[in-house]
Amino acid sequence: MDLIRILIAILLPPLGVFLQVGIGKHFWINILLTLLGYIPGIVHAVWVIAKK
């Protein structure tokens, strides 16, 4: 299941984070990082998914 979340995180980073932790601190941080740059959003999303 984590592999699917990681693939989703690469395509749409905030969706991957949302599926892992819901709407919370990490979701909003990821939205901000994705708006600032796509790559930081992906890195953060994969980190959040791998951490859990």
The model's pTM:
0.90
pLDDT per residue as tens, the chain (52 positions): 779 999 999 999 999 999 999 999 999 999 999 999 999 999 999 999 999 7
Domain that holds residue 32: 1-51
Distance separating alpha carbons of residues 35 and 23, to the nearest angstrom: 17
How high is the pLDDT of residue 9? 93
> How many domains is the chain partitioned into structurally?
1
At 2 the pLDDT is: 78
Q: Give the long-range contacts of residues 49-52, CB within 8 A, separation 24 or more.
A: 49/2, 49/5, 49/6, 49/9, 49/16, 49/17, 49/20, 50/2, 50/6, 52/20, 52/21
Give CA–CA dist 11/36, Å, rounded: 16
